[in-house]
């Protein structure tokens, strides 16, 4: 019997790394992305190497019509064992008032509404079969909010908190839920998100700790086997997530501003 994984935002980076890894493990895939040629080439390469079936959905998930294309494909598949909520909304790193509210709302939609919709479609089948895995890619920003990332951090914090509640609800039904909280990862997302000068500064300051997407995925799947709810790849990221939140707000704010 076939088994299927759904991965949003699989064109490159962490999503593409999940696609390669899960195909290697024998999963058929339903993957989404916005760059048709790039994601189709990825699908063709994976299919050729691992002989799995791959459905490619070209979609901007902040658009309801595009999301519906994915929803229709998902509803037609009764063997979805893994859902990876990885799609991110990038394109700005500015103070809240410097960005059009429409952009903020699109980010909320991609980071919060789309995962909720997909989980509502897929979870009943997982519960019926008594098995399934849901991984939502959050961020260390869900734990450590910083200036110019207010909405991003807020949406990721919601996704982490929501996942924690869901984990408690379904863990005794054979379903594993994970909130994956990576730090800076070597993907195109950060390059698209930050202005060039800021991106160069961020990359320079994190060059010793930045992780490859494949390493993030490896650690995620190890955490999943252990049924570990919050998964933070990278020792430095785990230390920051542990020790920075208790710091008094005034001190933390000055550190974050720098």
Which amino acids are annotated catalytic? Answer: 152
182: burial class by Cβ within 10 Å (0-12, 13-18, 19+)?
buried
DSSP letter string, 162-197: HHHHHHHHHGGGTEEEEEE---SBSSHHHHHHS-HH
From CA 256, how far away is CA 258, in angstroms rounded? 5
Sorted by sequence, the CB contacts under 8 Å of residue 102 that are 6+ apart come out as none
Element (H, E) at 133: strand 132-137
DSSP structural state of residue 111? I
From CA 37, how far away is CA 210, in angstroms rounded? 28
Residue 23: how many other CB atoms lie within 10 Å: 23
């Amino acid at each position: 019997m076939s088994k299927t994984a759904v991965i949003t935002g699989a064109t490159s980076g962490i999503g593409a790394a999940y696609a390669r890894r899960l195909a290697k493990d024998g999963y058929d895939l339903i993957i989404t992305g916005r760059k048709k040629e790039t994601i189709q080439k990825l699908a063709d390469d994976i299919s050729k190497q691992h002989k799995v079936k791959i459905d490619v959905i070209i979609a901007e998930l902040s658009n309801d019509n595009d999301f519906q294309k994915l929803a229709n494909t998902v509803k037609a598949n009764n063997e979805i064992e893994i859902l990876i909520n990885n799609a991110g909304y990038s394109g700005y790193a500015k103070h809240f008032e410097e960005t059009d509210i429409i952009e903020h709302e699109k980010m909320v939609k991609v980071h919060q509404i789309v995962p909720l919709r997909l989980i509502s479609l897929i979870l009943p089948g997982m519960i019926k079969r008594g098995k399934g895995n849901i991984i939502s890619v959050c961020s260390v920003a869900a734990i450590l909010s910083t200036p110019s990332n207010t909405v991003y951090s807020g949406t990721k914090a919601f996704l982490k908190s929501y996942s924690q509640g869901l984990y408690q609800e379904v863990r005794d039904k054979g379903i594993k839920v994970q909130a994956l909280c990576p730090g800076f990862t070597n993907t195109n997302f950060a390059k698209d998100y930050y202005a060039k000068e800021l991106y160069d500064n961020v990359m320079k300051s994190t060059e010793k700790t930045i992780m490859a997407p494949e390493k993030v995925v490896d650690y995620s799947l190890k955490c999943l086997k252990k049924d570990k709810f919050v998964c933070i790849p990278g020792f430095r990221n785990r230390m920051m997530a542990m020790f920075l939140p208790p710091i008094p707000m005034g001190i933390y704010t000055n550190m974050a501003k720098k």
